[in-house]
């Protein structure tokens, strides 16, 4: 377990001091699922949602979400990402949109929160763009799949 924590000696919330940590390449991969109605999936795939190209807008929103993470998560360090990539895949048979984000940086702290924020914002964008035709959209399985770099090295989820 790490000695780093988000509280000072008086119990006040603080941003962890990472100045003593080594700069390494750090990568985080996160994903989530968006379950839509089969008719909604057909509209998305067919490019017929009135608000526009759902998947392209969601991809851009996810990248922006990764970049804006420290503005949304109070104790996150502001990071200069070297890469933020989103892959969005539609499983038409199951009516599930699978979103995967990969964020990279050379820094003293990881990019897990950026990857998780990216998939969350992309999923919320899909919801926003499709809510007029599908009120039952379910966003689920937001999770970290893998992280590499830093003292703890590589971690992969199950």
Per residue in 70-87, pLDDT tens?
A: 999 998 999 999 999 999
Phi and psi at 125, nearest 5°, equal -65, -40
pTM of the model: 0.92
Structural domain contains residue 122: yes
- Residue 146 pairs in a beta bridge with 29, 156
Domain count of the chain? 1
Q: Is residue 58 part of a domain?
A: yes
* 111 occurs within a structural domain: yes
Q: Which residues are catalytic?
A: 128
Q: Is residue 141 part of a domain?
A: yes
pLDDT at residue 158 is higher than 80: no
Q: What distance in Å separates the CA atoms of residue 79 and residue 70, rounded to the nearest whole number?
A: 8
Residue 158 lies in a domain: no
pLDDT tops 70 at residue 1: no
What is the residue range of 117's domain? 24-148
**Which of helix, strand or coil describes residue 150?**
coil
**141: exposed, middle or buried (Cβ count in 10 Å: 0-12, 13-18, 19+):** middle
In a domain, residue 7? The reply is: no
**Percent with pLDDT over 70 in the chain:** 97
- We report the CATH number of the domain holding residue 53 as 3.30.70.640
* pLDDT at residue 3, rounded to an integer: 55
Tokens read off for 126: 């899909």
| Residue at 95 is within a domain | yes
Residue 113 forms part of a structural domain: yes
Under a CB-based contact definition with an 8 Å cutoff, are residues 85 and 102 in contact? yes
Tokens of 158: 């199950």
Contact (CB, 8 A) for 41 and 90: yes
Burial letters 80-107, b for 16+ CB under 10 A, else e = ebeebbbebebeeeebbbbbbbbbbbeb
């Amino acid at each position: 377990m790490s000695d780093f924590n988000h509280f000072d000696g008086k119990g006040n919330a603080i941003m962890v001091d990472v100045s003593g940590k080594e700069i390494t390449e750090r990568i985080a991969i996160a994903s989530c699922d968006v379950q839509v109605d089969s008719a909604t999936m057909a509209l998305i795939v067919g490019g017929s949602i009135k608000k526009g190209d759902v998947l392209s807008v969601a991809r851009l929103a996810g990248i922006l979400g990764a970049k804006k993470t420290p503005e949304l998560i109070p104790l996150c360090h502001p990071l200069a990402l070297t890469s933020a990539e989103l892959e969005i895949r539609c499983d038409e048979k199951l009516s599930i949109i699978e979103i995967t984000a990969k964020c990279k940086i050379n820094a003293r702290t990881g990019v897990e929160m950026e990857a998780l924020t990216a998939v969350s914002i992309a999923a919320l964008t899909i919801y926003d763009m499709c809510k007029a035709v599908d009120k039952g959209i379910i966003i689920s399985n937001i999770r970290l799949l893998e992280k590499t770099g830093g003292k703890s090295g590589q971690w992969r989820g199950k």
